[in-house]
Structure 1
Amino acid sequence: MSLPRGADFRPPWPLTSGHVQTMLSSSGVRRLLLPRAAQAVQQGAQPTTVDGGDGVRLTGAFTAQQALARPRGLAVLFHGWEGSVDSTYVLQTGSRLLADGWDVFRLNFRDHGDSHHLNEALFHSCRIDEVMHALTDIARRWPARPLALAGFSLGGNFALRAALRAPAWDVPLAYALAVCPIIDPGEGLFALERQAPWFYQAYFMNKWRRSLKLKQAAFPQHRYFELAELKQNLRGLTEALVLRHTDFDSLQAYLDGYSVARDALKAMAIPATILTARDDPIIPVDAFERLELPPGVELDIADYGGHCGFIRGRDMTSFTDEYIAARFSAVADGGFPPAA
């Protein structure tokens, strides 16, 4: 079976720019230009709340496929930081998988989407246990098999950590795919501050500040931050919230807590794929090249694509849809990686 590779993605100019790819990936312009079929996963979607363990509630949306007599399996999708189940890339991927006969569950992380009011404690990137509880609940309530997982950016990082933990949690995960995942958070934070153009940090900080204000409005009796802290840069605000709201005694300890760098994935027992782009201006490619991976984990570094872009042309559709769908099909049809 021949599967698409990152090297197959050869976009026309100006989409050969990693910055153009990255800026378009989550833009309103892209959402307007996408074909209607790219939002089909929203039709008939069932909003739902899943069990995150210890009283934690996470939200999501389940859409049953109508293309086949029986579903090919259950696809679970994780969005990126400050994204949601309705992020453009999640809708587009979910709609493609739905058309291929997959039931689709899109999960919101804590404090993402419209879920700020559900849990008093703040979201942070080391909350992997509640995501594992959610996956356990999802697998129980929607038993179509195989169960396959795809995540983007921070969601890709969560997907890799979930796959690493799935056997111990008895989550029947068959495959995981991460698009431009955060590998080394410390290095990534430094790169975003020092190497990436200023507008990337401004974009993320504006979204994060808005999210924190929504959280404060949902729980006015709880002081989440000082107003002066909101004026800090990405590193400063992250450190302030880590020391105030987590058990980590330093920013570096927190960043190490969700790192999947170097040999962290060496014990991965579930087949997986990591797709990234050499021109990603947010996640440095060096971190991917230093990974020590087992034979069942595929690392695919494309020349182009930016950060979670991989946009093919004027219709704003993404190469990742075809890429993910092909690998999910390989899992459903006999396992991944395919036999030689």
Structure 2
Amino acid sequence: MRSDAFPIFEERAPWWGPDLQTVRNILLPKPKELDGGARLLLAMPDGDRLAARLDRPAEPGGRPLVVLIHGLTGTEASVNVVRTARHLVSGGWPVLRLNLRGSALSRPTSKGRYHAGKTEDLAAALRQLPDELVRRGVALVGHSLGGNLVLKFMGEGGHDALVLGAVAVSTPLDLAAASQRIEAPRNLIYHHYLLAGLKSEALAPGAELTSAQRSAIASARSIYEFDDRFVAPCFGFRDAADYYERNSAVGFLRGVDRPALVIHAMDDPWIPAAVYEGIDWPSLKTVETAVAPGGGHLGFHGRGSPIGWHDLVTAAWLACKFT
């Protein structure tokens, strides 16, 4: 499916501009959760368990399982995740929403936490899935930080044969550049919101933390300081710069050897456009792009449909590649 075959994105009134596109998801009522759904607890090698929710279409259509992964401080209940799950399930796809280690819904069963490139947890979760769920293969879909995780996983080359391909939406491909961008003065409110969420998530009851780690979390005045003082040492990185360099998906794109789609808005207020402009996309033979001039961060509220443009594109691409 060529990039020029995707529908054109046009903003829908009154959600003009990157910020209204981005915040619409929290300004309006949350979408209705799907009926039913099954809870899975996927065991990690160290004993932690990741919570996941499985939703199946009313009429099984023989399609691969979609494993959907949330972004920073998100969960299976994040507005954008619920909307994507609803659209895919309505189109006949079984969808498993994975809550990363230490995120709100996995915290009761996990002492540790996730980070932007902790692909070993994704690999372990996939190995835990029942055979009947994965016999037709798996397609990965990641939102924001989840998109970075998915693309890094795909580019590492050691993924399981059951993974057919992946979609990444509004992805901070360069973690250092995204960190600098979110701390820009125009993003002050976003930054405070995300930092507060990170601290709350990290300090939630059940987290296994030392007193020094708790102090590092509490004293962080920025996301960079949070990553530098807490995340990096927690996982053996020298500092935030080392953590960002070793886990940014941009460094793994050339290793992607299965179909992948990158969906992005060039006006994303959280991610600098220069990162996407600096990549030689045509040289990446397995990676396709659906890049719109507008849409904000995980917004894509466009004309012609109440369904987000990124969800329409995701579903169309998956159907083209894997049915």
- Distance change (3 Å), C-alpha of 1:129 and 1:196: farther
- Distance change (3 Å), C-alpha of 1:169 and 1:11: closer
Q: 1:79 aligns with which of 62, 70, 73?
A: 70
- The structural deviation recorded for 1:332 is 2.7
User: Which sections of structure 1, spanning at least 5 residues, go unmatched?
Assistant: 334-340
Are 2:12 and 1:12 aligned?
Answer: yes
Are 2:168 and 1:172 aligned?
Answer: no
1:240 & 1:6 partners in 2: Cα distance? Answer: 42
- The structural deviation recorded for 1:139 is 6.4
2:148 & 2:109 partners in 1: Cα distance? Answer: 23
Are 2:255 and 1:256 aligned?
Answer: no
In the alignment of these two chains, the number of paired residues is 320
2:143 & 2:114 partners in 1: Cα distance? Answer: 17
Q: Supply the AA of the counterpart residue of 1:240.
A: R
The answer for the alignment partner of 2:95 in structure 1 is 104
The answer for the alignment partner of 1:337 in structure 2 is none
Percent identity, aligned pairs only, is 23
- The structural deviation recorded for 1:61 is 0.6
2:70 & 2:20 partners in 1: Cα distance? Answer: 20
- The structural deviation recorded for 1:309 is 0.5
Q: 1:61 aligns with which of 50, 53, 73?
A: 53
- Distance change (3 Å), C-alpha of 1:5 and 1:108: farther
- Distance change (3 Å), C-alpha of 1:76 and 1:161: same
- Distance change (3 Å), C-alpha of 1:198 and 1:57: same
- The structural deviation recorded for 1:173 is 1.1
Are 2:274 and 1:286 aligned?
Answer: yes
The answer for the alignment partner of 2:293 in structure 1 is 303
1:169 & 1:2 partners in 2: Cα distance? Answer: 25
User: Which sections of structure 2, spanning at least 5 residues, go unmatched?
Assistant: none
Any conservation in 2 of the 1:12–1:313 contact (CA below 8 Å)?
yes
The answer for the alignment partner of 1:44 in structure 2 is 36
Any conservation in 1 of the 2:233–2:239 contact (CA below 8 Å)?
no
Any conservation in 2 of the 1:7–1:302 contact (CA below 8 Å)?
no
- The structural deviation recorded for 1:28 is 5.1
Q: 2:223 aligns with which of 221, 231, 234?
A: 234
In the TM superposition, what whole-angstrom CA distance separates every residue of 1:114-161 from its partner, at most 9, and x where no partner exists?
Answer: 222323233322321111111222264512414211111001111112
In the TM superposition, what whole-angstrom CA distance separates every residue of 1:31-56 from its partner, at most 9, and x where no partner exists?
Answer: 1xx4x5xx32xx22111111333333
- Distance change (3 Å), C-alpha of 1:211 and 1:143: same
Are 2:197 and 1:207 aligned?
Answer: yes
What's the secondary structure of 1:129's corresponding residue? helix
- Distance change (3 Å), C-alpha of 1:323 and 1:220: closer
Q: 1:185 aligns with which of 175, 184, 194?
A: 175
The answer for the alignment partner of 2:144 in structure 1 is 153
- The structural deviation recorded for 1:251 is 1.5
- The structural deviation recorded for 1:109 is 0.5
Q: Supply the AA of the counterpart residue of 2:19.
A: H
Deviates further, 12-21 or 153-162 = 12-21
- The structural deviation recorded for 1:221 is 7.2
Q: 1:89 aligns with which of 80, 95, 106?
A: 80
The answer for the alignment partner of 1:29 in structure 2 is 28
- Distance change (3 Å), C-alpha of 1:324 and 1:4: farther
- The structural deviation recorded for 1:201 is 0.0
- Distance change (3 Å), C-alpha of 1:228 and 1:169: closer
